[in-house]
Each structure stands twice: as structure tokens, then as C-alpha cells.
Amino acid sequence: MNRRPPNPSPLVAETETIPLPGDSTLLLRNNIENEVVALDISAPFGARDEPCDKAGLTTLALQMLSRGTERRSDYEIAVALESIGAAFSTDAGKDRVSLRLLSTAPNFTSALEIVREMLSQPAFPPDLYEVEKDILVKEIREDLDSPLTAAFRLFQKNLFENHPYGHPSSGTAETVSALERDEVRNHLTNRFGQQCLSLGLVGNLAQEEVLPPLERLLESLPEVDLLCDTEQPAAPGHSASVCEERDTEAECLVYGFPVPGFRDPRYPAWKILDSIVGGSMDSRLFSEFREKRGLVYQIGSTLPPLEWQSYFAIYLTSTPDNHAEILECLQAEIDRLKDTVPDSDEVERARRFLKGTFLMSQERNADQAHLLSRYHSLGLGIDFIDRYPRMLDEVSPQDIQQVAGEYLNDPLLAVVGPTKK
């Protein structure tokens, strides 16, 4: 007997897919519940397209968009947006670039015209370029003041070796300091064009109201070459341990494994595994390491949503005196995942947690616009919003043991802590 697919959610059912110039696509949901309009533009490139010695190129280029155009200064841009209650932001992810505009329905066209000007006529004033570069370098250094952040950087660098996935999207202090204004500007104009953009738009606006200004925006952008020369990363096939010494009392560890990216059909099984191990207050790690043994100050796990290849990692902060016992306990937890099928109740709790948080991530217009543009840009289709919860429902306890046994075999350990005596 064939099972009928469930009815689509309102977000998916009410979204129109509309072709735009340059093989771009508008994903429009008319939401009459409020006057907030959210536009999220996803472009098919990201930090992974940067050479390792140019890390931070995309982040710096995007931050310069609001620093002035051929017609307006950065102050005039800020005042123009503020005067109509609009806000503009950017994000340089590893796999995709996002531009986000929040406005009200009556002022959407005016706000979009300002964005069009920033994208088509960026000035990159030399003095403000140096200011913005200095700000980014300072932020990078401040981030690394956190030993746990430094441990993650060390882990990613060694896991992905010479691949761009191995450097932070913001770059390093050394690479950003060496970036020249012209190469940053050229990177933006050579990569961000009218081709293959995914535009998610949610708000109380009809198609005939948004199409003309969006078409003007796209027609003002150049045609660009979207070919990417970056090869997918190769997973290391051996265990390793790396250490960075610091004058601190605490010791931060990141202990992880290379795993497939989120396009892998077993991604939902990995999400449930991550939730069971360290994704909540009743997770195995929190219960065993903190509540029962008192070994750590903080502990958790992570599974970044990277497209080509990801990693499953456990992170924690403790003292050097607990180092040996922690490593033994970590290996015991990994062996438990590989050797024992998890309890069905434990799997169901993790499933409910993931489905609940995913649903809550769709509450605001901006959240919905982002999901629409991102999933369309990644080729998953906007119906992934509905398919993902069903995929979680299909994961069995045996699936979790299977992926653990296949991939959790060659750990990489990154440690940032005090000098060993």
C-alpha cells in the first residue's frame, strides 16, 4: 500500500518560486501577519573559495559594502537605512555568502535601492578600508583570547590541513593584514554577480510589488564566473594529537573525527548522535563528565553543517590534572557508541529536541527567508524544510551505531593549555 506524502507546511506551501534574470530565483512567501519584510540573498560561493593565504578575503569584502558608495558616504548609508527603519547585514559562511535586509513593507523598495547601490557602486574608500581591516584583525585576535576558540582553530587547521575549510571565515591576523584594497574589491566584483542567486523574501508584499525592484537590483550586477577551483577536502586516515601551550590554569580540549557533510543521506543520524552525546543538558557527556565525575567546567559536542565534509567533535574545559582520566572517559564514550545500540527512549528524546528546535528556527520572517534561500542555493529544495523532520523520524537506533562504527575511528585531539612541567 502506497503512503501519501504528508501535506506541506504553510511555509513550503505558501512559497512561490519565481525565475529572475541571470538564472537567479525568488522564493516569495506573502505573510500578512505583520509589516516586517525580510530578504535573504544566498550567493553560491564562500570562504572555501579563498586561497589559504588570502583567508578573510570574503569577510572583509562584505564588510566594506556599507562603508560607502560612489554617491554616499558610510554615514549617509547608515542614516538612510535608519530613517526608514531598515537594517542590512552580511555573513561569509564556509559554503555560501548571505546578504540580509530587514525593512517594513511600505519602505521595502527604498531600502532595496540602497542595497542595490551598495552592491553595484561600492567605493571601498582607502582610508576606511584600512580602518575596517584593522577592526577585523582586532576582532580575530580578541577571539583567540579564548583558549577554547584557539583549540577549535587548532583542531580545524589540522583536520583540514591546507584546505580552506581549515581556516576561519574571518581569516587570521596575518592573512587579513596582508590583504590589499584592490584585491579585496576585485574579489567582490568577480564573485558576486547576477547569476544563480537565491533570494528568499517573506513579508506582506505581493509579487507585482517586489519583482520590479528586485529585477533592477540584479540587472545592475555584473556577470561573473562562478567556477570554483577549490577541491573537496580529503579526510585524514590516522589519529593525531596537537598542542598549543598558553599561560592559563585551565586546559581546553577538542576531540573529534572527520564525518560526511550534510548532503550525506545519513546526516539526520549524525544529528541525533550529536544530540545524544553532547547536545543538551541531559546528554551523555554532561551527565557522565560533569554531574557524576566532576571532571570538567564545561562540555558539549558539535556537528557543523558543512557541505563537502564536516566533523563531529567533543569540546571541553578542565584542568591539566584531569587530562589522562578525561581521555580514557572520552574513548569509553566513543566505544560505547560503536559497540552498543542506543536506547530507543534516548533516541526519541534527541529526535524531539531536534524537531522542536528546527521548528522554532522558523518563527520570524527573517528565519524563514534564510531557510528558503539557503536550502534552494544548496540544491536541496525548499521542501527540505518539510523533509528534514521526516528524515529524523526514519533514523533508527541501529543507524546511529552504524555511522559511529564506520567513522569514529581516528580521532584528532587539539589541546590548548598551560605549559607541561
Please write the tens of the pLDDT for every residue from 268-301.
Answer: 999 999 999 998 778 999 988 988 899 999 999 9
pLDDT recorded at residue 375 = 97
Q: Parallel, antiparallel, or unpaired for β 97-104 and 24-30? A: unpaired
Residues 192 and 252 in one domain: no
Residues 265 and 208 in one domain: no
pLDDT recorded at residue 1 = 33
Q: Does the residue 233 lie in any domain? A: no
Residues 64 and 151 in one domain: yes
In this structure, what CATH number is given to the domain that contains residue 28? 3.30.830.10
Q: Does the residue 188 lie in any domain? A: yes
Residues 215 and 245 in one domain: no
Residues 174 and 268 in one domain: no
pLDDT recorded at residue 3 = 42
Q: CA-to-CA distance for 111 and 67, rounded, in angstroms?
A: 16
Q: Can you list the alpha helix ranges (DSSP code H) found in 237-383? A: 267-278, 284-285, 323-339, 344-360, 365-377
Q: For 56-62, what is the mean pLDDT?
A: 97
Residues 178 and 269 in one domain: no
Q: For 301-322, what is the mean pLDDT?
A: 95
Say if residues 285 and 301 touch (Cβ distance below 8 Å).
Answer: yes
Residues 159 and 272 in one domain: no
Report pTM.
0.93
Q: Can you list the alpha helix ranges (DSSP code H) found in 121-162? A: 126-143, 147-160
pLDDT of 104 higher than 90:
yes
Q: How many CA atoms lie within 13 A of 71 on its CB side?
A: 11
What's the domain range around 148?
10-219
Residues 347 and 244 in one domain: yes
Q: CA-to-CA distance for 15 and 29, rounded, in angstroms?
A: 4
pLDDT recorded at residue 282 = 81
pLDDT recorded at residue 173 = 97
pLDDT of 19 higher than 50:
yes
Q: CA-to-CA distance for 214 and 16, rounded, in angstroms?
A: 15
Q: Which tops the pLDDT comparison, 205 or 229?
A: 205
Q: Does the residue 3 lie in any domain? A: no
Which of 163, 189, 219 is where one domain is finished?
219
Residues 193 and 264 in one domain: no
Q: Does the residue 231 lie in any domain? A: no
